[in-house]
């Protein structure tokens, strides 16, 4: 069960078995991509950020005190990586503003928003815990187990937040359709 | 229900390319080919303590260097740079193919000669051959199809080939594709010279470099792999001499007897040594790449689908394959290059030769690059190893290489113009 036996694979990675890291990647990469997409709003960039998170995770796995908490620890890395990315983008935007480069080259993020479904965009506007509940529910095989691991929620607590997220999402969708009318 | 289906569909995008990305990550981890930037710190409680520790460490290292200064030793990492600076290199040795040791020779002299023997195992048979060239003629002899192809050499093709051997081919042959993780294991002497011995072990394979510290170039390289009786088996040995005159047995351009003779004079459009990568008919080729003194890469490339009935023939079609569809990154995969499209030239077989200037996003120096193509059904990537030249020659070459693909009546961008363009991006 994911979350409950992450420790086995973490120990295997520490023993030099890199394929075990592949198993952990299979468990968490989709979730990390979704979290990165919330920040980047661009799937290509989210994929790159996700790879960065896993590389950093691999480099620091020997410092993980409780292998059972791998998921939560990796999510911490993801949040910090996203924060660094966001700072970097803001810095670069400020620097770029004065230079008209588009005449020479296509914009750096020409693929931005290509995959940004309206629904994903709306999810990105939800409060963090509600967003995380949705990500977990739709991307993790055993969402409650992972939620317990990374969000410290009970089963009922998780479903309560999930329900709230869905209702808020519905309201956002309704408001959007009314606006378009 | 509608919302539920919509959500499930929206979340599917995070599974897109999962397998390819997984392979990419695990390959990077196994190769160790990612930046050793270190794990991210989750707590930053004692930044002053870290700063104090760092300054103490720096002063300790500085005083150690000052008081215990040792003679400068050339490391394995410097070998490619040393080889690229040689005027000539001679390699003699052997390679084991299916238990038989076949002789191997290579002699390269800048601007004069290139001589290479080759041995290849095809099914149950082993074929040998050789290639000899100067800036005017070449001769390519192959035992496989029993042919001897000869003709006039293209001077630009010869120059790029010689530099390719000195800067890329030879260093990779001697040091291996991954030049890291060498450990100094001892010292010895060879032909009266003091030698440092370095070893690299990887998956049971071992590479031993006998490095001459006086020249910074290997004097001997040995390869070993696990044998059948669990003992190590030597599979290759090369002896290297640098800045030497041509060997007496350097083959002439006289056609050997008993071979089918083919005459083929190399045209201007054969000047490039093409590197390819592809799958499912989608082919990407690098025609030419030059390192503009660490500031940018001048790249010429083409991409085509061999399964398509109609290949792009016009400038209009070429825009479909623009550089914005590619992902150019530094060799460690972290930072991007800005890809500035310079020109699209009609090229052989109806393809388009795209000229692109690559400028590192963070203003760092150019060394190697990695190109990846994100496709609907997976991704491909290729390493780019741009050649270096001294500034005078580089300024001429920049024009010469562009003229290879350029239609009559057009003007090539000169080195200064390209550098100015790169500068604008670097200064951002």
As given in the structure block, the two tokens for residue B378 are 């997976």
CA distance A105 to A43: 21
Which residues 118-147 in chain B show a CB within 8 A of chain A? none
Instruction: Evaluate whether B151 touches B263 at the Cβ level (below 8 Å).
Output: yes
CB contact under 8 A, A99 and B38: no
The distance of B18 to chain A (nearest Cα, Å) reads 8
Please tell me which residue of chain B has the smallest CA distance to A54. Answer: B25
Decide if A1-106 and A108-181 have a common fold: no
Helix-then-strand count for chain B, H and E: 9, 20
Q: How many CA atoms lie within 13 A of A61 on its CB side?
A: 26
pLDDT at residue B122, rounded to an integer? 74
Q: Torsions phi, psi of B190, nearest 5?
A: -140, 125
Q: pLDDT tens-digit profile of B73-90?
A: 347 888 888 898 899 999
Q: Could you tell me which of B298, B293, B267, B254 has the C-alpha nearest to residue B157?
A: B267
Pairing of strands B260-263, B147-152: parallel
Tell me the residue length of chain A.
Answer: 181
CA distance B53 to B29: 30
Which residues 286-345 in chain B show a CB within 8 A of chain A? 322-324, 333-334, 336, 338-341
CB contact under 8 A, A59 and B10: no
Q: Which residues pair with B91 in a beta bridge?
A: B106, B240
The distance of A57 to chain B (nearest Cα, Å) reads 7
Q: Taking the alpha carbons of B76, B80, B86, B90 in that order, is the dihedral positive or negative?
A: positive
CA distance A169 to A117: 14
Looking at residue B413, what DSSP letter applies? P
Q: Choose the mutation target among B25, B329, B381 for the interface with A, i.e. most A CBs under 10 Å.
A: B25
pLDDT at residue B71, rounded to an integer? 35
Which stretches within B165-311 are classed as H helix?
A: 170-175
Looking at residue B169, what DSSP letter applies? I
Task: Give CA angle at A50 (A9, A52), nearest 5°.
Answer: 90
Query: How many C-beta atoms lie closer than 10 Å to residue B112's C-beta?
Result: 15
Instruction: Evaluate whether A58 touches A21 at the Cβ level (below 8 Å).
Output: yes
CA distance B225 to B201: 10
Return the CATH number of the domain spanning residue range A1-106: 1.10.1740.10
CB contact under 8 A, A21 and B28: no
Q: Which residues contact B203 (CB under 8 A, 6 or more apart)?
A: none
Return the CATH number of the domain spanning residue range A108-181: 1.10.10.10
As given in the structure block, the two tokens for residue A8 are 């086995």
Please tell me which residue of chain A has the smallest CA distance to B373. Answer: A44
CB contact under 8 A, A50 and B21: yes
- DSSP per residue over A117-133, as a string? -HHHHHHTTS-HHHHHH
Using a CB-CB distance cutoff of 8 angstroms, which residues of chain B are in contact with residue A88?
none
The distance of B330 to chain A (nearest Cα, Å) reads 14
Q: Torsions phi, psi of A67, nearest 5?
A: -55, -25
Q: Could you tell me which of B287, B283, B298, B294 has the C-alpha nearest to residue B328?
A: B298
The distance of A79 to chain B (nearest Cα, Å) reads 10
Instruction: Evaluate whether B22 touches A29 at the Cβ level (below 8 Å).
Output: yes
SS (H, E, C) B95-157: EEECCEEEEEEEEEECCCEEEEEEEEEECCEEEEEEEEECCCEEEEEECCCCEEEEEECCHHH
- How big is chain A by its Cα radius of gyration, in Å? 18
Q: pLDDT tens-digit profile of A136-178?
A: 888 887 788 778 777 777 888 888 888 898 888 888 877 776 7
CB contact under 8 A, B25 and A54: yes
The distance of A96 to chain B (nearest Cα, Å) reads 6
Low-confidence ranges of chain A (pLDDT < 70): 1-4, 92-117, 177, 179-181
pLDDT at residue B214, rounded to an integer? 86
H or E segment at B190? strand B183-190
3-state helix, strand and coil shares in percent for chain B, rounded to the nearest 5: 30, 40, 30
Q: In what order do the strands lie in the sheet with B275-279?
A: B275-279, B282-292, B296-305, B352-360, B337-346
* Three-class secondary structure of residue B67 per DSSP: helix
Q: Could you tell me which of A75, A80, A71 has the C-alpha nearest to residue A9?
A: A71
pLDDT at residue A58, rounded to an integer? 92
Partner-chain residue, chosen from A30, A80, A123, that has the shortest CB–CB distance to B40:
A80
Q: Torsions phi, psi of A52, nearest 5?
A: -60, -45
Task: List chain A domain ranges.
Answer: 1-106, 108-181
CA distance B122 to B345: 38
pLDDT at residue A103, rounded to an integer? 34
* Residue recorded with tokens 């390959």: B27
Instruction: Evaluate whether B338 touches B346 at the Cβ level (below 8 Å).
Output: no
Q: Which residues contact B410 (CB under 8 A, 6 or more apart)?
A: B343
Size of interface A-B (CB pairs under 8 A): 108
Cβ-count burial of B304 within 10 angstroms (0-12 exposed, 13-18 middle, 19+ buried)?
Answer: buried
* Three-class secondary structure of residue B218 per DSSP: strand
Distances (CA, A) of B101 to B45, B97, B123, B172, B238: 62, 6, 17, 21, 12
Chain A contact present for B42, CB below 8 A: yes
Chain A contact present for B112, CB below 8 A: no
Please tell me which residue of chain B has the smallest CA distance to A134. Answer: B7
Low-confidence ranges of chain B (pLDDT < 70): 1-2, 33-52, 54, 59-74, 229-230, 280, 307-326, 330-335, 373-379, 427-428
């Amino acid at each position: 069960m994911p979350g409950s036996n992450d420790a086995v694979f973490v120990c295997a990675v520490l023993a030099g078995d890199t394929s075990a890291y592949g198993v952990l990647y299979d468990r968490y990469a989709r979730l990390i991509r979704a979290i990165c997409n919330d920040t980047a709003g661009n799937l290509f960039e989210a994929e790159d950020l996700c790879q960065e998170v896993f590389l950093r995770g691999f480099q620091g796995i020997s410092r993980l005190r409780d292998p059972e908490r791998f998921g939560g620890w990796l999510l911490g890395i993801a949040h910090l990586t996203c924060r660094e990315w966001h700072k970097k983008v803001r810095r670069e935007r400020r620097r770029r503003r004065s230079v008209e480069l588009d005449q020479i080259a296509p914009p750096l993020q020409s693929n931005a928003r290509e995959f940004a479904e309206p629904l994903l965009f709306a999810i990105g506007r939800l409060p963090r815990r509600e967003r995380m509940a949705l990500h977990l529910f739709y991307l993790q095989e055993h969402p409650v187990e992972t939620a317990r691991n990374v969000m410290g929620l009970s089963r009922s607590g998780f479903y309560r937040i999930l329900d709230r997220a869905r209702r808020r999402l519905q309201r956002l969708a309704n408001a959007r359709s009314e606006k378009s009318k | 229900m509608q919302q539920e289906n919509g959500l499930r569909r929206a979340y599917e995008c995070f599974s897109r390319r999962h397998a390819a990305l997984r392979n990419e990550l695990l390959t990077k981890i196994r190769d160790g080919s990612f930046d050793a930037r270190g794990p991210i710190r989750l707590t930053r409680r004692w930044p002053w303590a870290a700063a104090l520790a760092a300054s103490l460490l720096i002063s300790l290292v500085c005083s150690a260097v000052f008081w215990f200064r040792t003679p400068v030793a050339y490391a394995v990492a410097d070998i490619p740079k040393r080889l690229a600076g040689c005027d000539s290199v001679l390699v003699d040795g052997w390679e084991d193919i299916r238990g038989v040791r076949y002789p191997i020779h290579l002699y390269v002299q800048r601007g004069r000669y290139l001589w290479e023997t080759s041995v290849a195992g095809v099914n149950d048979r082993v074929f040998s051959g050789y290639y000899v060239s100067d800036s005017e003629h070449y001769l390519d002899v192959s035992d496989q199809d029993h042919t001897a192809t000869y003709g006039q050499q293209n001077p630009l093709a010869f120059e790029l080939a010689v530099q390719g051997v000195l800067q890329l081919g030879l260093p990779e042959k001697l040091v291996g594709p991954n030049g890291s993780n060498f450990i100094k294991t001892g010292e010895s002497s060879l032909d009266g010279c003091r030698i440092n011995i370095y070893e690299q072990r990887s998956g049971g394979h071992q590479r031993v470099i006998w490095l001459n510290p006086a020249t910074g170039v290997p004097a001997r390289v040995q390869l070993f792999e696990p044998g059948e009786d669990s003992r190590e088996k030597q599979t290759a040995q090369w002896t290297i001499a640098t800045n030497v005159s041509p060997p007496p047995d350097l083959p002439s351009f006289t056609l050997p007897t008993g071979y089918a003779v083919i005459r083929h004079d190399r045209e201007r459009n054969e000047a490039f040594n093409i590197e390819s990568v592809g799958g499912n008919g989608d082919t990407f080729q690098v025609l030419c790449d030059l390192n503009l003194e660490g500031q940018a890469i001048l790249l010429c490339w083409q991409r085509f689908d061999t399964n398509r009935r109609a290949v792009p023939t016009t400038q209009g079609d070429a825009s479909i394959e623009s550089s914005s569809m590619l992902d150019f990154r530094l060799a460690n995969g972290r930072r991007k290059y800005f890809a500035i499209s310079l020109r699209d030239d009609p090229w052989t077989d109806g393809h388009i030769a795209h000229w692109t200037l690559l400028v590192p996003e963070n203003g760092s120096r150019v060394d190697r690059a990695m190109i990846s193509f994100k496709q609907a059904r997976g991704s491909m990537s290729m390493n780019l190893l741009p050649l270096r030249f001294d500034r005078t020659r580089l300024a001429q070459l920049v024009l010469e290489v562009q003229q290879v693909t350029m239609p009559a009546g057009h003007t090539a961008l000169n080195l200064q113009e390209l550098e100015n363009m790169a500068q604008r991006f670097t200064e951002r």
